Amino acid sequence: MRVRWGSFWLAMAAFAAMGFLIAPLVMVVAISFTSSQLLRFPPEGFSLRWYYALIDNPQFIEAAWTSFQLAVACSIVATLIGTTAAIAIYRYRFFGRNAIYLLLLSPLMLPQLILAIALLIYLSRAGLPGSFLSLLIGHVLVTLPFVVRLVLVGLERIDPNIERAAAVAGATRFEVFFRVTIWLIFPGMFAGAAFAFIMSFDNIVVSLFFTTSRMVTLPVEIYEYLEYADDPLITAVSSVVILLIVAMLLVIEKTVGFTKSFTAVEHG
Protein backbone atom coordinates (compact mmCIF):
# COMPACT_ATOMS: atom_id res chain seq x y z
CA MET A 1 0.00 0.00 0.00
CA ARG A 2 2.23 2.72 -1.28
CA VAL A 3 1.46 6.39 -1.24
CA ARG A 4 0.43 7.13 -4.80
CA TRP A 5 1.84 10.37 -6.03
CA GLY A 6 3.06 11.65 -9.31
CA SER A 7 2.97 7.98 -10.23
CA PHE A 8 2.71 8.57 -13.91
CA TRP A 9 5.65 10.90 -14.31
CA LEU A 10 7.72 8.89 -11.93
CA ALA A 11 7.08 5.76 -13.97
CA MET A 12 7.95 7.62 -17.19
CA ALA A 13 11.24 8.85 -15.74
CA ALA A 14 12.00 5.37 -14.47
CA PHE A 15 11.30 3.76 -17.85
CA ALA A 16 13.50 6.35 -19.53
CA ALA A 17 16.32 5.53 -17.12
CA MET A 18 15.83 1.84 -17.72
CA GLY A 19 15.90 2.41 -21.47
CA PHE A 20 19.09 4.40 -21.11
CA LEU A 21 20.70 1.52 -19.21
CA ILE A 22 19.70 -1.17 -21.64
CA ALA A 23 19.91 0.72 -24.95
CA PRO A 24 23.57 -0.05 -25.74
CA LEU A 25 23.10 -3.76 -25.05
CA VAL A 26 19.97 -3.95 -27.19
CA MET A 27 21.84 -2.14 -29.94
CA VAL A 28 24.74 -4.58 -29.90
CA VAL A 29 22.52 -7.65 -29.97
CA ALA A 30 20.30 -6.22 -32.72
CA ILE A 31 23.17 -5.35 -35.01
CA SER A 32 24.77 -8.77 -34.64
CA PHE A 33 21.99 -10.16 -36.86
CA THR A 34 22.55 -7.70 -39.71
CA SER A 35 23.32 -8.97 -43.17
CA SER A 36 25.33 -5.92 -44.12
CA GLN A 37 28.93 -4.94 -43.52
CA LEU A 38 27.96 -1.85 -41.59
CA LEU A 39 27.88 -1.28 -37.85
CA ARG A 40 24.58 0.50 -38.13
CA PHE A 41 21.14 0.47 -36.55
CA PRO A 42 18.56 -0.55 -37.61
CA PRO A 43 20.21 -3.69 -38.99
CA GLU A 44 19.69 -4.45 -42.66
CA GLY A 45 17.96 -7.77 -43.18
CA PHE A 46 18.45 -10.72 -40.91
CA SER A 47 21.30 -13.17 -41.13
CA LEU A 48 23.61 -15.23 -39.01
CA ARG A 49 26.58 -14.45 -41.25
CA TRP A 50 28.51 -12.74 -38.44
CA TYR A 51 27.97 -15.71 -36.16
CA TYR A 52 29.34 -17.98 -38.87
CA ALA A 53 32.24 -15.55 -39.28
CA LEU A 54 32.80 -15.75 -35.54
CA ILE A 55 33.13 -19.54 -35.63
CA ASP A 56 35.73 -19.16 -38.37
CA ASN A 57 37.69 -16.57 -36.40
CA PRO A 58 40.43 -18.37 -34.46
CA GLN A 59 41.46 -15.24 -32.55
CA PHE A 60 38.12 -14.78 -30.82
CA ILE A 61 37.66 -18.49 -30.23
CA GLU A 62 41.06 -18.78 -28.66
CA ALA A 63 40.56 -15.65 -26.54
CA ALA A 64 37.21 -16.97 -25.38
CA TRP A 65 38.80 -20.28 -24.40
CA THR A 66 41.52 -18.43 -22.47
CA SER A 67 38.95 -16.28 -20.70
CA PHE A 68 36.87 -19.34 -19.82
CA GLN A 69 39.82 -21.23 -18.34
CA LEU A 70 40.89 -18.13 -16.49
CA ALA A 71 37.41 -17.50 -15.10
CA VAL A 72 37.08 -21.11 -13.92
CA ALA A 73 40.49 -21.03 -12.25
CA CYS A 74 39.82 -17.64 -10.70
CA SER A 75 36.44 -18.73 -9.41
CA ILE A 76 37.92 -21.83 -7.77
CA VAL A 77 40.87 -20.06 -6.13
CA ALA A 78 38.86 -17.05 -4.96
CA THR A 79 36.10 -19.26 -3.54
CA LEU A 80 38.57 -21.46 -1.67
CA ILE A 81 40.61 -18.76 0.00
CA GLY A 82 37.69 -16.37 0.31
CA THR A 83 35.38 -18.88 2.01
CA THR A 84 37.99 -20.03 4.49
CA ALA A 85 38.83 -16.42 5.35
CA ALA A 86 35.15 -15.49 5.76
CA ILE A 87 34.58 -18.43 8.10
CA ALA A 88 37.59 -17.42 10.20
CA ILE A 89 36.42 -13.80 10.36
CA TYR A 90 32.93 -14.86 11.38
CA ARG A 91 33.84 -17.58 13.87
CA TYR A 92 36.90 -16.33 15.70
CA ARG A 93 37.92 -13.27 17.64
CA PHE A 94 41.61 -12.72 17.15
CA PHE A 95 44.30 -10.10 17.08
CA GLY A 96 44.07 -7.93 13.98
CA ARG A 97 40.64 -9.27 12.99
CA ASN A 98 39.24 -5.91 11.94
CA ALA A 99 42.40 -4.98 10.04
CA ILE A 100 42.35 -8.28 8.17
CA TYR A 101 38.66 -7.87 7.36
CA LEU A 102 39.32 -4.41 5.98
CA LEU A 103 42.24 -5.79 3.96
CA LEU A 104 40.03 -8.55 2.54
CA LEU A 105 37.45 -6.03 1.34
CA SER A 106 39.91 -3.34 0.23
CA PRO A 107 40.17 -4.46 -3.42
CA LEU A 108 36.49 -3.52 -3.68
CA MET A 109 37.18 0.06 -2.67
CA LEU A 110 40.45 0.71 -4.46
CA PRO A 111 40.38 1.42 -8.19
CA GLN A 112 41.19 -1.73 -10.18
CA LEU A 113 43.60 0.33 -12.24
CA ILE A 114 45.77 0.98 -9.18
CA LEU A 115 45.68 -2.69 -8.18
CA ALA A 116 46.70 -3.59 -11.73
CA ILE A 117 49.69 -1.27 -12.03
CA ALA A 118 50.95 -2.16 -8.55
CA LEU A 119 50.73 -5.85 -9.41
CA LEU A 120 52.40 -5.24 -12.78
CA ILE A 121 55.35 -3.49 -11.15
CA TYR A 122 55.70 -6.26 -8.60
CA LEU A 123 55.26 -9.22 -10.94
CA SER A 124 57.59 -7.87 -13.60
CA ARG A 125 60.27 -7.43 -10.92
CA ALA A 126 59.59 -10.98 -9.80
CA GLY A 127 60.11 -12.08 -13.42
CA LEU A 128 56.47 -12.91 -14.07
CA PRO A 129 55.02 -10.27 -16.39
CA GLY A 130 52.22 -11.29 -18.76
CA SER A 131 51.15 -14.91 -18.30
CA PHE A 132 48.18 -17.04 -17.30
CA LEU A 133 49.43 -17.08 -13.73
CA SER A 134 49.76 -13.30 -13.49
CA LEU A 135 46.29 -12.88 -15.03
CA LEU A 136 44.97 -15.36 -12.48
CA ILE A 137 46.56 -13.50 -9.57
CA GLY A 138 45.11 -10.20 -10.78
CA HIS A 139 41.64 -11.64 -11.25
CA VAL A 140 41.60 -13.35 -7.85
CA LEU A 141 42.62 -10.03 -6.33
CA VAL A 142 39.58 -8.19 -7.66
CA THR A 143 37.05 -11.00 -7.13
CA LEU A 144 38.11 -12.11 -3.65
CA PRO A 145 36.12 -9.43 -1.75
CA PHE A 146 32.91 -10.57 -3.45
CA VAL A 147 33.36 -14.12 -2.21
CA VAL A 148 34.26 -12.96 1.30
CA ARG A 149 31.24 -10.66 1.56
CA LEU A 150 28.75 -13.15 0.14
CA VAL A 151 29.90 -16.00 2.37
CA LEU A 152 29.86 -13.68 5.39
CA VAL A 153 26.33 -12.56 4.60
CA GLY A 154 25.39 -16.24 4.35
CA LEU A 155 27.02 -16.99 7.70
CA GLU A 156 25.31 -14.08 9.41
CA ARG A 157 21.94 -15.38 8.26
CA ILE A 158 22.43 -18.80 9.81
CA ASP A 159 20.40 -19.38 12.92
CA PRO A 160 23.11 -20.36 15.45
CA ASN A 161 20.62 -22.71 17.07
CA ILE A 162 20.79 -24.98 14.03
CA GLU A 163 24.45 -25.66 14.73
CA ARG A 164 23.74 -25.90 18.47
CA ALA A 165 21.02 -28.43 17.73
CA ALA A 166 23.53 -30.54 15.79
CA ALA A 167 26.06 -30.28 18.61
CA VAL A 168 23.50 -31.18 21.27
CA ALA A 169 22.47 -34.16 19.14
CA GLY A 170 26.02 -35.42 19.56
CA ALA A 171 27.94 -34.18 16.52
CA THR A 172 31.60 -33.28 17.00
CA ARG A 173 32.80 -29.86 15.86
CA PHE A 174 34.06 -31.38 12.65
CA GLU A 175 30.79 -33.14 11.98
CA VAL A 176 28.85 -29.98 12.73
CA PHE A 177 30.91 -28.13 10.17
CA PHE A 178 30.90 -30.71 7.39
CA ARG A 179 27.40 -32.03 7.89
CA VAL A 180 25.59 -28.80 8.76
CA THR A 181 27.45 -25.50 8.39
CA ILE A 182 28.85 -26.10 4.95
CA TRP A 183 25.38 -26.79 3.56
CA LEU A 184 24.06 -23.65 5.14
CA ILE A 185 26.74 -21.43 3.61
CA PHE A 186 26.61 -23.18 0.26
CA PRO A 187 24.30 -20.57 -1.34
CA GLY A 188 26.75 -17.81 -0.37
CA MET A 189 29.68 -19.81 -1.71
CA PHE A 190 27.83 -20.54 -4.91
CA ALA A 191 26.95 -16.87 -5.40
CA GLY A 192 30.56 -15.92 -4.65
CA ALA A 193 31.93 -18.45 -7.14
CA ALA A 194 29.47 -17.36 -9.83
CA PHE A 195 30.22 -13.68 -9.30
CA ALA A 196 33.96 -14.41 -9.41
CA PHE A 197 33.47 -16.27 -12.68
CA ILE A 198 31.48 -13.47 -14.31
CA MET A 199 33.73 -10.68 -13.09
CA SER A 200 36.82 -12.52 -14.25
CA PHE A 201 35.31 -13.39 -17.61
CA ASP A 202 34.34 -9.76 -18.10
CA ASN A 203 37.43 -8.09 -16.72
CA ILE A 204 39.28 -5.65 -18.92
CA VAL A 205 41.09 -3.28 -16.55
CA VAL A 206 43.40 -5.85 -14.97
CA SER A 207 43.66 -8.08 -18.04
CA LEU A 208 44.89 -5.25 -20.22
CA PHE A 209 48.13 -5.13 -18.22
CA PHE A 210 48.89 -8.85 -18.24
CA THR A 211 47.90 -10.08 -21.65
CA THR A 212 50.65 -10.94 -24.11
CA SER A 213 50.48 -11.45 -27.82
CA ARG A 214 49.94 -15.15 -27.20
CA MET A 215 47.71 -14.90 -24.15
CA VAL A 216 44.75 -12.60 -24.77
CA THR A 217 41.42 -12.62 -22.92
CA LEU A 218 38.17 -12.07 -24.74
CA PRO A 219 37.39 -8.54 -23.45
CA VAL A 220 40.91 -7.41 -24.37
CA GLU A 221 40.55 -8.99 -27.81
CA ILE A 222 37.27 -7.11 -28.31
CA TYR A 223 38.82 -3.88 -27.02
CA GLU A 224 41.74 -4.17 -29.41
CA TYR A 225 39.54 -5.20 -32.32
CA LEU A 226 37.55 -2.01 -31.74
CA GLU A 227 40.72 0.00 -32.24
CA TYR A 228 41.27 -0.96 -35.85
CA ALA A 229 38.13 -2.47 -37.28
CA ASP A 230 34.44 -1.81 -37.19
CA ASP A 231 32.41 -4.58 -38.68
CA PRO A 232 29.47 -6.38 -37.06
CA LEU A 233 31.68 -9.37 -36.18
CA ILE A 234 32.41 -7.64 -32.91
CA THR A 235 28.70 -7.34 -32.12
CA ALA A 236 28.29 -11.06 -32.70
CA VAL A 237 31.00 -11.96 -30.23
CA SER A 238 29.65 -9.36 -27.76
CA SER A 239 26.16 -10.79 -28.09
CA VAL A 240 27.45 -14.25 -27.22
CA VAL A 241 29.09 -12.79 -24.11
CA ILE A 242 25.91 -10.89 -23.18
CA LEU A 243 23.82 -14.01 -23.62
CA LEU A 244 26.19 -16.09 -21.52
CA ILE A 245 26.32 -13.56 -18.69
CA VAL A 246 22.60 -12.84 -18.64
CA ALA A 247 21.97 -16.60 -18.56
CA MET A 248 24.35 -16.98 -15.63
CA LEU A 249 22.78 -14.02 -13.82
CA LEU A 250 19.34 -15.54 -14.30
CA VAL A 251 20.58 -18.78 -12.79
CA ILE A 252 22.03 -16.87 -9.83
CA GLU A 253 18.81 -14.88 -9.48
CA LYS A 254 16.75 -18.08 -9.47
CA THR A 255 18.97 -19.86 -6.96
CA VAL A 256 20.46 -17.36 -4.53
CA GLY A 257 19.20 -14.00 -5.79
CA PHE A 258 21.59 -11.98 -7.93
CA THR A 259 20.15 -8.57 -7.07
CA LYS A 260 20.03 -9.41 -3.36
CA SER A 261 23.59 -10.71 -3.42
CA PHE A 262 24.90 -7.78 -5.32
CA THR A 263 23.22 -5.24 -3.07
CA ALA A 264 24.68 -7.08 -0.08
CA VAL A 265 28.21 -6.85 -1.49
CA GLU A 266 28.01 -3.17 -2.32
CA HIS A 267 26.58 -2.29 1.07
CA GLY A 268 28.48 -4.30 3.61
Partner 1 sequence: MTTHPAIELAGLTKRFGDVVAVDSIGLEVGVGELVSLLGPSGCGKTTTLNMVAGFLDPDAGDIRLHGQSVADRPPHKRNSGMVFQSYALFPHMSVFENVAFGLRVRRLPKAEIERSVHEALAMVRLDGLHDRSTQQLSGGQRQRVSLARALVYQPDVLLLDEPFSNLDAKLRVAMRAELVEIQRRAQVTALFVTHDQEEAMHISDRIVVMNAGRIEQIGSPTDVYRRPESVFVADFLGEANLVEGRIAAATAETATVETADGLQFRAETTKPWSNGDACWLMVRPEHLVVCADTDPAPANRMHGTVKSHAFLGSAHIVQVEAAGRDWSLKLSDSEWTPVAPGDDVAIGWNAPDCVVLNA
Partner 2 sequence: MLKYRLPPLLVWPATAFLGAFLVYPLLLTVAISFDEFSALEGMKPAFQVGHYKTLLTDPYYHGVLLDTLRISLIVTLASLIIGYPLALWMTRLEGVWKAIAMFCALAPLMISVVIRSLGWLVILSDTGVINQLLLATGIVSSPVRLLYNEFAVIVGLTEALLPFMIISLLVSLQAIPNSILQAASVAGAGHWIVFRRILLPLSLPGIAAGSLLVFAIATSSFVTPRILSGGHINMVANVVVDNFLVTLNWPFGAAVGILLLIVVLLVFLLQHWLTERILGRYR
Chain residues binding partner 1 by CB under 8 A are 1, 3-5
Q: Confirm or reject binding of residue 156 to partner 2 (CB under 8 A).
A: no
> Would you call 35 helix, strand, or coil by DSSP?
coil
**At its nearest, how many Å lie between partner 2 and the CB of residue 168?**
23
Q: Does 131 help bind partner 2 (rule: CB under 8 A)?
A: no
Q: Determine which residue in the list 64, 74, 135, 137 makes contact with partner 2, applying CB under 8 A.
A: 137
- Residue pair 70/132 in contact by the 8 Å Cβ criterion: yes
Q: Any contact of residue 136 with partner 2 (CB under 8 A)?
A: no
What span, in angstroms and rounded, lies between the C-alpha atoms of 31 and 235?
A: 7
| Cβ distance to partner 2 smaller for residue 7 or 35 | 7
Q: Distance (Å, rounded) from C-alpha 216 to C-alpha 63? A: 5
Binding-site size, partner 2 (CB under 8 A)? 96
Q: In angstroms, give the least distance from the CB of 218 to partner 2.
A: 9
Q: ∠91-93-97 over CA atoms, to 5°?
A: 105
Which of 72, 208, 231, 268 contacts partner 2 by CB under 8 A? 208
- DSSP letter at 4 equals P
Task: Map the footprint of partner 2 across residues 91-130, applying CB under 8 A.
Answer: 91-97, 100, 103-104, 106-107, 109-115, 117-123, 125
Q: Radius of gyration over alpha carbons of the chain, in Å?
A: 22
CA dist., res. 157 & res. 187, Å (int): 11
Which CB sits closer to partner 1, 10 or 169?
Answer: 10
